[in-house]
Structure 1
Amino acid sequence: MTSKIRFARSAAFAAVAAISAFGLAACSAGGGSTGGGDGEPVEITYLHRLPDGEGMTPVNEIVDRWNEENPDIQVTATKFDGAATDMILKLETDLNAGTGPCLAQLGYAEVPQMYVKGLVEDVADEAAKYADDFSAGAYSLMTVGDAVVGLPQDTGPLVYFYNATEFEKLGLAVPETIEQLASEAATSAAAGKYIAAFTPDEAQYWLSAQAAAAGDTWFTTESDEWKVDTEGEGSQTVAALWQGLVDNKQVVVTERWGEGFPAALNDGSLIGHVGAAWEAGFLLDSLDGTPAEGQWRVAQLPDFGAGAMTGPDGGSGVAVMKGCEHPAEAMEFNAWFNTQVDDLASQGLVVAANGTPQTSEKMLRQFGDQDVLAELAEASANLNPDFVYAPGFASLTPMNETASGVAGGSATVADIFTTAQTTAVATLEDLGLPVAE
């Protein structure tokens, strides 16, 4: 890791550790490297929310393989079937009652707040043994200052999806820069086609990821205080791009998870999309059996001004929970499990571990025999390693509310980043954390 990253983490750790009211000191759970010390195997519990759908390698099948090969460390995995927010509430309740699991899946934006609340362990020494097995950008998202609470599992780097057949018909080039994206958007719009969509309901993670791709770091520390800058040069670049596209009616403006997006995709008017890598698993399902099947491809995100860099839109890791009696053994399993690349890819994940899984038959069919997962692995490796979330980032949903006013002109894209600034500062202050002026 660069000295810049180490410095930022050290400063961030100092800022967090200064707030003793939140119990920020790392828990000191014990545990040897093998066995439970009494001849009995170490028992590790793991709570996850992976889909375990049809055609996927079930989590319990992966865990059974570990248990067979590691009789001294036995793992029991439990699937949580509710919403991610409900799982976090359950974790907090169980951990405070002393009945929580040893390992649990956490979204990256949830990591800092769980640390602030003292609900995860600092396992930096153990994590360092496995750091080189993972994307540096993903690994950084499991850190809070100098503390490392677990290992990354999957990533959501932004990439660019496009209909290669329609691009060829219109003489469009796959955009490699945002200037090209704007230029090609104008050409396609003149023909009644759109190579991107502005999606207000995704603004919080979608636009912050683009700012990261432009080289911004929203959260740093200064004199043991959090410093928030969501309106930096990168954010301004992102705002200018989308404002121009919206004003000139050169993109589809619609909710990502509403009816408008799939309608535009299915009627062929939407032929490009800046989206998270995990969307590759289902983005094109509605086109199966239609003339558009096999026409789409995936490419790296256009250069937002920082070179070959992208930002995180989703993803999660596996953290060691407060009170885990055997953190070393838990991390040994954690590292093994999260490097079972093909198995995790079958769950629809863009795996954070180094290595490229085999692209599924479904993806090959939908993306015209492109090796999609190799392209997504490249994007994962290009995540901005300096962009981390601050405690309370999950509360920045007002960004989406501001974004909803962009289409009607009651708000600008720049206003979304202003909302991020004011909301982030207020959230950190509500958590009792010091914020630099």
Structure 2
Amino acid sequence: MTAHGSRRRSAAVAFTTLALGALTLAGCSTDADPENSASADAPAASGEAITIQYVHRLPDGEGMTKVADLAAEWNAANPDVQVETTKFDGQAGELVAKLETDISAGVGPCLAQLDYSEVPSMYVRGLTADVAEYADQYRDNFSGAFSMMTVGDAVVGLPQDTGPLVYYYNKAEFDRLGLSVPTTIDEFKATAATAADEGKYIGAFEPDEAKFWLSGQAAAAGAQWYSAGDDGWVVDADSDASAVVADLWQTMIDGDDVLVLERWSDAFPAALNDQSLIGTIGAAWEAPLLADAMAGTDNEGQWAVAQLPDFGAGALTGPDGGSGVAVMSGCEYPEQALEVANWFNTQIDALVSQGLVVAAIGEMTTPDSIAAFYGGQDVNAELAKANGALSADFTYAPGFATVGDSMAVAAAAAGSGDGTVADVFSAAQEQSITTLTDLGLPVQQ
């Protein structure tokens, strides 16, 4: 790491200027040419080829453009900067643990795939490098997710895929019931009540997805949960914007106008398949999952995708998942590593084949199977539109996984009637303060 980067991390760990950067929307870029991407004239001082190791969790399934094949394409065009890829088959948390062990032992990779919610913690713990001096030139290649790879002024890497919240609905059932897709939360409440009178539900409250699903909706309402003031972190998880989301779901739960379903339970796809559940707010990456869950049923060709209703802050959505490629601490060639990450993350067609909603700006072709399920709709164009509407203010704080655990407990209570949806955001507020304090980070009260 450069001395400049060390000073940046020291400032963050000293907790004087630690903050999550603002999302930047704009710019344009498409699939880059590997022959024009690498700084092949400045690799190792010896003039020998350097090697960039990249650890990823992409599926690499049948019919997908394999990560190793992309690396081979890069390597053929850039003999002085070679890439070696390793697929990690465990969960995200298991990869984080392995990275920490390997970096401590001095054998960590230069590049690794990280969930956005892990970025602040990884940086504060000294596991990622600050590559801000090299990163700004790539900013316009990506959607607003660029700043998901930032911590204050530091930039730890580049975004790869995103999960903006959108609205999925059974268009055929909506048409049969004479319903229009709700464009505001007031319309959402009214439409939910009308559909419920017919034994249909345009949404489900999902306690097990509270961490990202409800925080993403709060972002769509204009919330900024975490920022840094002169005296430390400012936590605002139980803000007025979050209260808008709480009121929406509490009203519908109280009126029996929505179902209460664990997203990853068997009951959720069952409700989709019997067409009692005819709509759901979900992440962009759920488009193929929903299609798979309803394959071979009458739902095929009936569903469509729309933008999230206006939660009161305009055409805005929030993040629910996604990951980036980070430059890890100890990487000897951070500049070249970031160039590799930029090239790799702008291979839009290849990444779409992996099932990703790509963070890079450019056209994403909708696979034929997905278009067929969604009635011929250009689904990826709709998802790209959501990418461009990601909140410019919402990012995560160190320890957010612990915050999510508390939210899930409160959401389960709200779903069963033993608590309220507002309690979910109160739990996020309280646990955020506790977690940041336990990490040694000052919180501005």
With structure 1 as the length reference, what TM-score do the two structures score?
0.93
1:185–1:251 CA contact under 8 A, matched in 2: yes
Superposition CA RMSD, Å: 1.6
Question: Which of 239, 252, 263 is matched with 1:245 structurally?
Answer: 252
Question: In structure 2, what is the equivalent of residue 408 of structure 1?
Answer: 416
- The equivalences for 1:224-373 within 5 A come to 224-373=231-380
Show CA shifts across 1:123-167 (max 9, x none): 01211010000012x011100000000000000000000000000
Stretch moving more, 32-41 or 239-248: 32-41
In structure 1, C-alpha distance between the alignment counterparts of 2:238 and 2:179, rounded to whole Å? 32
1:213–1:306 CA contact under 8 A, matched in 2: yes
Question: In structure 1, what is the equivalent of residue 434 of structure 2?
Answer: 426
Identity over the aligned pairs, expressed in percent?
58
In structure 1, C-alpha distance between the alignment counterparts of 2:363 and 2:291, rounded to whole Å? 22
Question: In structure 2, what is the equivalent of residue 6 of structure 1?
Answer: none
Question: In the superposition, relative to structure 1, how do residues 223 and 79 fare at CA in structure 2: closer, same or farther (>3 Å)?
Answer: same
Compute the displacement of 1:289 (Å).
Answer: 2.3
Question: In structure 2, what is the equivalent of residue 87 of structure 1?
Answer: 95
Q: Does 1:153 align with 2:149?
A: no
In structure 1, C-alpha distance between the alignment counterparts of 2:51 and 2:69, rounded to whole Å? 17
Question: In the superposition, relative to structure 1, how do residues 13 and 330 fare at CA in structure 2: closer, same or farther (>3 Å)?
Answer: closer
The alignment partner of 2:330 has SS state of: coil
Q: Does 1:16 align with 2:9?
A: no
The alignment partner of 2:83 has SS state of: strand
In structure 1, C-alpha distance between the alignment counterparts of 2:170 and 2:416, rounded to whole Å? 28
Compute the displacement of 1:224 (Å).
Answer: 4.0
Question: In structure 2, what is the equivalent of residue 53 of structure 1?
Answer: 61
Question: In the superposition, relative to structure 1, how do residues 164 and 63 fare at CA in structure 2: closer, same or farther (>3 Å)?
Answer: same
The alignment partner of 2:408 has SS state of: helix
In structure 2, C-alpha distance between the alignment counterparts of 1:231 and 1:286, rounded to whole Å? 34
Count residues with an aligned counterpart: 416
Residue type of the alignment partner of 1:389 = Y
Residue type of the alignment partner of 2:352 = A
1:16–1:433 CA contact under 8 A, matched in 2: no
Question: In structure 2, what is the equivalent of residue 170 of structure 1?
Answer: 177
In structure 2, C-alpha distance between the alignment counterparts of 1:325 and 1:133, rounded to whole Å? 25
Residue type of the alignment partner of 2:353 = S
Question: Which of 74, 84, 94 is matched with 1:76 structurally?
Answer: 84
In structure 2, C-alpha distance between the alignment counterparts of 1:158 and 1:286, rounded to whole Å? 19
In structure 2, C-alpha distance between the alignment counterparts of 1:67 and 1:236, rounded to whole Å? 51
Residue type of the alignment partner of 1:316 = S
Structure 1 moving runs of 4+ over 3 Å: 12-15
Question: In structure 2, what is the equivalent of residue 8 of structure 1?
Answer: none
Question: In the superposition, relative to structure 1, how do residues 110 and 124 fare at CA in structure 2: closer, same or farther (>3 Å)?
Answer: same
1:13–1:144 CA contact under 8 A, matched in 2: no
Gaps of 5+ in 1: 1-11, 23-30
Question: In the superposition, relative to structure 1, how do residues 68 and 384 fare at CA in structure 2: closer, same or farther (>3 Å)?
Answer: same
Show CA shifts across 1:210-262 (max 9, x none): 00000010001111400101011110000000000001011110100011111
Compute the displacement of 1:290 (Å).
Answer: 2.0
2:40–2:80 CA contact under 8 A, matched in 1: no
Residue type of the alignment partner of 2:147 = S
Question: In the superposition, relative to structure 1, how do residues 382 and 33 fare at CA in structure 2: closer, same or farther (>3 Å)?
Answer: farther
Compute the displacement of 1:432 (Å).
Answer: 0.4
The alignment partner of 1:45 has SS state of: strand
In structure 2, C-alpha distance between the alignment counterparts of 1:280 and 1:157, rounded to whole Å? 11
Compute the displacement of 1:54 (Å).
Answer: 1.6
Question: In the superposition, relative to structure 1, how do residues 13 and 221 fare at CA in structure 2: closer, same or farther (>3 Å)?
Answer: farther
In structure 2, C-alpha distance between the alignment counterparts of 1:147 and 1:367, rounded to whole Å? 40
Question: Which of 92, 99, 124 is matched with 2:132 structurally?
Answer: 124
1:155–1:315 CA contact under 8 A, matched in 2: yes
Question: Which of 184, 196, 199 is matched with 1:189 structurally?
Answer: 196
Compute the displacement of 1:32 (Å).
Answer: 8.7
In structure 1, C-alpha distance between the alignment counterparts of 2:164 and 2:281, rounded to whole Å? 10
Question: Which of 175, 187, 212 is matched with 1:180 structurally?
Answer: 187
2:40–2:81 CA contact under 8 A, matched in 1: no
In structure 1, C-alpha distance between the alignment counterparts of 2:11 and 2:190, rounded to whole Å? 44
In structure 1, C-alpha distance between the alignment counterparts of 2:141 and 2:168, rounded to whole Å? 28
Question: In the superposition, relative to structure 1, how do residues 13 and 212 fare at CA in structure 2: closer, same or farther (>3 Å)?
Answer: farther
Question: Which of 35, 49, 53 is matched with 1:41 structurally?
Answer: 49
Question: In structure 2, what is the equivalent of residue 3 of structure 1?
Answer: none
- The equivalences for 1:94-109 within 5 A come to 94-109=102-117
The alignment partner of 2:192 has SS state of: helix
Compute the displacement of 1:33 (Å).
Answer: 5.8
In structure 2, C-alpha distance between the alignment counterparts of 1:242 and 1:15, rounded to whole Å? 40
Gaps of 5+ in 2: 1-7, 19-38
The alignment partner of 2:326 has SS state of: strand
Compute the displacement of 1:408 (Å).
Answer: 2.3
Question: In structure 2, what is the equivalent of residue 202 of structure 1?
Answer: 209
Residue type of the alignment partner of 1:62 = L
Question: Which of 133, 145, 166 is matched with 2:141 structurally?
Answer: 133
